[in-house]
Amino acid sequence: MTQTVKLILEDGTSIEGESFGAFTSAAGEVVFSTAMTGYPENLTDPSFAGQILVLTTPMVGNYGVPGEDLYESISKIFESDKIHIAGLVVTYYSEEHSHWNAAKSLGDWLKEYNIPGICGVDTRMLTKKLREKGAMLGKIVAEDDVPLHDPNLDNLVAQVSPAGIRHYGSGQHKIVLVDCGTKTNIIRCFLERDVELIRVPWDYDFTTLDYDGLFLSNGPGDPKMCEATIQHLQKALQQDKPIFGICLGSQLMGLAAGGDTFKLKYGHRSHNQPVKLTGTQHCYITSQNHGFAVDTATLPAEWDMLFENLNDGTCEGIKHKTKPFFSTQFHPEAAGGPQDTEFLFDDFLKSVVEYKNR
């Protein structure tokens, strides 16, 4: 028997729908994603921590959820070891699923992590509202009401970052991955490229480590919360070892360099964001999930914008004019989404080799 739940927004909007997943209440920041595939990847992306995710693709759950196969001690398919979203909002939840590698339904999976879902919602109406008014706080209410809660006031990175150091692989390039909530596909991308990976917590002083290259991961929330990371990073920027940052990592690089970041009205969450490599005719379709961005105007003189968003002109990555430091606001590791910029991992490792051979 279906149970009714409500989605309530901070502007007073109240939408009734049917419950799926856990029948429970939850609050968070309501954001929308226009990606058409990849809910197992999206839901486990730590960057979504604290957010109630609205999907514009209407039919969700069609291919179920795969089993937890492991690859080098990390999940083969998921982007972390749990669901990170606070709640899920869809038009049509397909309870019956069909796929050769499905182990369970989306609803059962949400139940496992006690995450509520609401279906039967006009997500286009909701998306237009978020587009016009900006991302809003909201809550899914089952039986007991919960207060609204702004996750951007929390240090979300501290919540999703691991407690200790972990080592992966035994390749010849030693890369430190500063984990602010990394997606596991970033780890997979490195392990496919002859890398020994040292995964450290967000506030770990990695400058004490011996490494060839530094990587700054994606993660949730406001980058300015990560003061410790920024401080360590500033030290690294004094040196010449290659640095690569993705998403939150890009914003952290911008802040450490002396620039500023700002909150986008409703963010970029989709698999179809077009970016252009500055000064060229080369364009790429990218996967994105972020609510904050580097303010290009505030970048110091020795830094350039590396990529630009073709739709709204926002910064999609920065680059040091002389040193091997660069970043992307988008996700070259994809998962989910287009894989067209995975070559950036190769570019990074090339600069690592150059650094080592210098």
Is 227 known to be catalytic? no
Q: At what angle do helices 248-257 and 227-238 cross, to 10 degrees?
A: 60
184 scored as a contact of other proteins (CB under 8 A):
no
Distance CA 3, CA 347 (A): 51
Using CB under 8 A, which of 1, 14, 73, 100 touches other proteins? 100
Q: Fill in the DSSP letter of residue 324.
A: S
Question: Which residues ranging from 216 to 235 are in contact with other proteins (CB under 8 A)?
Answer: none
Using CB under 8 A, which of 311, 343, 350, 354 touches other proteins? 311
Q: Does 329 count as an annotated binding residue?
A: no
Residues 204 and 165: beta-carbon distance below 8 Å: yes
Q: Does 219 count as an annotated binding residue?
A: yes
Using CB under 8 A, which of 274, 295, 347, 355 touches other proteins? 274
14 scored as a contact of other proteins (CB under 8 A):
no
Q: Which of 290, 289, 284 is nearest to 306 (CA)?
A: 284
62 scored as a contact of other proteins (CB under 8 A):
yes
Catalytic residue, chosen from 173, 247, 271, 316, is 247
Using CB under 8 A, which of 82, 99, 321, 350 touches other proteins? 99
Is 189 known to be catalytic? no
CA angle 219, 317, 205 (to 5 degrees): 50
Distance CA 357, CA 77 (A): 35
- Helix, strand, or coil here: 332? coil
Q: Does 148 count as an annotated binding residue?
A: no
Q: Does 292 count as an annotated binding residue?
A: yes
Catalytic residue, chosen from 41, 79, 196, 333, is 333
Residues 194 and 149: beta-carbon distance below 8 Å: no
Q: What is the CA radius of gyration of the chain?
A: 20
* Close Cβ partners of 27 (under 8 Å, ≥ 6 residues apart): 52, 86, 137, 138, 139, 146, 147, 148, 149
Is 331 known to be catalytic? yes
Amino acid at 284: Y
Q: CB-wise, 221 or 267, nearer to other proteins?
A: 267
Residues in the interface with other proteins (CB under 8 A) total 54
Residues placed in the known binding site for L-glutamine: 47, 219, 221, 248, 251, 289, 291-292
The binding site for other proteins (CB under 8 A) comprises 15, 32, 34-38, 40-41, 56-59, 62-63, 66, 77, 91-92, 94, 96-101, 120, 122-125, 127-128, 131, 270-274, 276, 281-283, 285, 310-312, 334-340
